Structure 1
């Protein structure tokens, strides 16, 4: 559709990244071009037409840097080289050029809270060579007495002892991922050199990994057992100098580049504060809304239980505190979270609920992020044993529970693992019902989801009513409708247990979105809108109600109206 009125665009703070739809690629699982079972950069280039046909504007490429791969590329050994399994720099350049040639932009993952312990910086630091001696967080002491009780986000102590230096080093993630010491100006200069090096190669911005953990205290106090989260996380999350460090990064990133920061542990208010303070961040990934279904106890069986009114409250706070005042990164899943349909939809209504989630994400205020496979409604798989898990976070937490005697077997945590493991998002992309889902000619590095014969790109593209085509139409609608990008958001019927409804308004342009987020029919009631004979812009069923107020909506029905 096109705008039906003339808008005063001087009142809209327009930016290309606000109007973009981002598609996240996890290279290891996207497409394998050489038959080794591992996705690679040439494989991505082979499938760029899929992204172009879908209509996305930006590709966020998860790490492809040289890495020993203890955390699937988030442990970087060389920021200026490509992992051998993925190809080489010429392959990366061809991908960049193919994307740019089709009018798409490319942003890279910037992982600078930590490096691999095989990085040259760490190797020289453990030998105490010159300026590198203080590149990481080192504390002398007995190998039997860690500096404090901090715990890693991946389970276990956040300190490991290095026999060569005879000192402890800090890692808030895996022991193979030592944290850089951002208090050291030489570290900050080295990081800005990396940033500049990649910008000089024509990328269009960065997704900044784990930036909420850059600032740590100099004295390393003990963690407070009464604080939520791992012991010590209150000291290594959103530290006192974080804003300063981000300002320094922002100073070398041009205004036209896109920057999105991952800030675990940040509230909506924190996100807004860090976006407002300078030019370093255009938007922030914060995760309060993704805690709505977390059971908390890995031995519990209440995973997946969540309340729609609570979810609406969290999302509305994000819209009011962040999206309206600054800007919002819109997402319900990525490489670190389970599949959206299995988490926030209903596999019994896979197509309908996948379309509903897509409708929701693409009609909120902010920049929508799609994770590979989301556009065809990929689902979680099923893990029978810990040996089937690759995810370092899941393995670390379960092994700790077993070692501590909190559980006696994998079966006691199986419910939690099968609900929340990061591997759900990392099973290979399902391209076709053909052998190995047309992902590879070899043995896939991670087992395919068995449902690839029913859920795959080839079949979805051939079916005009598929999840894929619904996403394609939503992206086209959003591109042509500024009200869905910049319009004000207003929640309707906040206490309704089934209906999530809201309006978007920009000048005289008004949109109404009604989502029946349940497996039962639901009636939409509201005194706040008059939408008789509304125009249906898009829906996920045929025959959507044209008078939505008082109408019954079918299970997981989602409709966007102009009224």
Structure 2
């Protein structure tokens, strides 16, 4: 079992720009987070995951970092950060920072030196290549569309960027870059930060052969979904993560989360685990990629998800990592549409489906992460009428390329509204007042509609709200060894409406039954389980049938049973 504090924690992800504005400039800030610690403490979360706080020109949500040891002006000062850290610690809460080390801003002093001359000492801090007769060094595609290569006039070479062209990739083959990164992590750990989420850690080292094309059919640039492995050199990543944790983790008892988009769970076992020198948790996105079609460009060519695929994606990670690694589980984050919009119901069953999804999140094996507003059953989007309403560079790039390709404008906007990262970034609604109490000024991005009815103040006051449902689940998780450390076993893997599984630890077995849709399917309980006494302990309806092998589920019903 090997108990650890980070295994027994509940994470709350804060997208700072959209959480709470304290000074009326329309942008959330650190003082705003500090002002809402009472709310977060009442919910019961104990790790606050902050998206990047560092100095940045903020072209890409703060992920384009100009100085890793300073705070972005929009978010406040280092004194604000120190006060937040101190107050959180006094409440028994911990702070985990997002740490993007795959790239920097193109305004970072390292890059400004690197691009100044091929002979500069920091030239090899980044990945530079000469062009070929056709232009680009190769045909690899960027996450944001187009090539991963950007031509720079200063030295007439191309630099690599997996994301925005304003985010040049660091060269992790360079020992000096690695040393700089270790020192940055250590600097924040010395300040008392409790953990790090290493963004895109699987892709910090690229494969050999940057100057070679990969087979791409008739596409101009190889789609990212087909290039994950080219963006990774796993043996080298494993060694880097081990060293980051060995040098900066074991002395500080840090929570270390590695992001593993596009990898199989077995590939992560070398650098994920409880042993000294390993990262703690792995965050994967297989269930998030179910709606991404492989025939096209990432999120912009979509397909429908099925419950069978969702169960398979989640169960694969639950099973492979059991007793070998530890999952960081989540259903939404700042890069995704809201969980209720993706996997639940946005109409009459919004609250029931939000509670059902909360039950899934809180009963899987791993450390759960709640994305801000998820505890309200928040529905995002709704305010993106024209291209001017979007803020996300990836979305704006898609709309630009769609227009150039001749796509109908309304069709392009429809795709953008459905898939944009902005749909999860509408400001947090705190009350029913103008702008939801998020700001006294003009929000940096539009409020999602309906905040007069769905807001934190109203949810806290209503004992039957999604907020209090999450609160009770968190309390249940704290006292149940089966939910913390129990083995996960999928039931009814071929059922297209019901997601059911057990969690077993020693002599305690819990059975979780979830109806993912608005129908009333019959749960056919496996005989080996339903021959045992069954006690209802929690759910989003009043207890239904608790005896017999078969029973009907109500729309979006969630129930947790203890088996005798």
Q: Output the TM-score relative to the length of structure 1.
A: 0.93
The corresponding residue for 1:286 is 284
Change beyond 3 A, Cα 1:559–1:233: closer
Cα contact 1:143–1:161 (8 A) shared by 2: no
Measure, in 2, the Cα distance between the counterparts of 1:186 and 1:443: 43
Which of residues 236, 239, 248 is equivalent to 2:243?
248
> CA shift at 1:284, angstroms?
1.3
The corresponding residue for 1:363 is 363
Cα contact 2:142–2:224 (8 A) shared by 1: no
Measure, in 2, the Cα distance between the counterparts of 1:499 and 1:548: 17
Cα contact 1:492–1:528 (8 A) shared by 2: no
Which of residues 130, 143, 153 is equivalent to 1:163?
153
Measure, in 1, the Cα distance between the counterparts of 2:357 and 2:141: 35
Change beyond 3 A, Cα 1:36–1:212: same
Cα contact 2:322–2:487 (8 A) shared by 1: no
Cα contact 1:223–1:234 (8 A) shared by 2: no
Measure, in 1, the Cα distance between the counterparts of 2:502 and 2:61: 40
Measure, in 2, the Cα distance between the counterparts of 1:365 and 1:54: 20
> CA shift at 1:408, angstroms?
2.6
* CA deviation profile, 1:84-116 (whole Å, cap 9, x unmatched): 010000000011011111001111011110000
> CA shift at 1:295, angstroms?
4.4
Which of residues 183, 198, 216 is equivalent to 1:225?
216
Secondary structure of the structure 1 residue equivalent to 2:248: coil
The corresponding residue for 2:138 is 148
Secondary structure of the structure 2 residue equivalent to 1:288: coil
Secondary structure of the structure 1 residue equivalent to 2:238: helix
The corresponding residue for 1:451 is 450
Q: Which stretch has the larger CA shift, 343-352 or 238-247?
A: 238-247
The corresponding residue for 2:476 is 477
> CA shift at 1:238, angstroms?
4.2
Which of residues 193, 202, 226 is equivalent to 2:192?
202
Secondary structure of the structure 1 residue equivalent to 2:191: coil
> CA shift at 1:443, angstroms?
0.4
Map 1:371-386; keep pairs closer than 5 Å.
371-382=371-382, 383-386=384-387
What are structure 2's unaligned runs of at least 5 residues? none
The corresponding residue for 2:40 is 51
Measure, in 1, the Cα distance between the counterparts of 2:471 and 2:240: 39
The corresponding residue for 1:269 is 266
How many residue pairs get aligned? The number is 550
Which of residues 176, 198, 203 is equivalent to 1:213?
203
Map 1:152-551; keep pairs closer than 5 Å.
152-220=142-210, 221-225=212-216, 229=224, 232-255=227-250, 256-275=253-272, 279-295=277-293, 303=302, 305-348=304-347, 349-382=349-382, 383-403=384-404, 405=405, 407-526=406-525, 527-530=527-530, 534-547=534-547, 549-551=549-551
Change beyond 3 A, Cα 1:225–1:141: closer
Cα contact 1:237–1:265 (8 A) shared by 2: no
Q: Which stretch has the larger CA shift, 265-274 or 49-58?
A: 265-274
Measure, in 2, the Cα distance between the counterparts of 1:397 and 1:279: 41
Cα contact 1:346–1:353 (8 A) shared by 2: yes
Secondary structure of the structure 1 residue equivalent to 2:178: helix
Measure, in 2, the Cα distance between the counterparts of 1:531 and 1:464: 35
The corresponding residue for 2:83 is 94
Q: What is the alpha-carbon root mean square deviation over aligned residues? A: 2.1
> CA shift at 1:413, angstroms?
2.6
Measure, in 2, the Cα distance between the counterparts of 1:57 and 1:170: 38
> CA shift at 1:304, angstroms?
6.2
Measure, in 2, the Cα distance between the counterparts of 1:219 and 1:189: 24
> CA shift at 1:278, angstroms?
6.9
Cα contact 2:377–2:466 (8 A) shared by 1: yes
The corresponding residue for 1:15 is 4
Secondary structure of the structure 2 residue equivalent to 1:223: coil
Which of residues 92, 100, 104 is equivalent to 1:103?
92
Q: Output the TM-score relative to the length of structure 2.
A: 0.93
Secondary structure of the structure 1 residue equivalent to 2:375: helix
Cα contact 1:18–1:485 (8 A) shared by 2: yes
Measure, in 2, the Cα distance between the counterparts of 1:273 and 1:240: 9
Measure, in 2, the Cα distance between the counterparts of 1:548 and 1:19: 34
Change beyond 3 A, Cα 1:251–1:517: same
Cα contact 1:149–1:231 (8 A) shared by 2: no
The corresponding residue for 2:562 is 562
The corresponding residue for 1:8 is none
Secondary structure of the structure 2 residue equivalent to 1:423: helix
Change beyond 3 A, Cα 1:417–1:324: farther
Measure, in 1, the Cα distance between the counterparts of 2:418 and 2:293: 10
Change beyond 3 A, Cα 1:292–1:475: same
> CA shift at 1:123, angstroms?
0.7
Change beyond 3 A, Cα 1:400–1:323: farther
> CA shift at 1:289, angstroms?
1.8
What are structure 1's unaligned runs of at least 5 residues? 1-11
Measure, in 2, the Cα distance between the counterparts of 1:218 and 1:560: 49
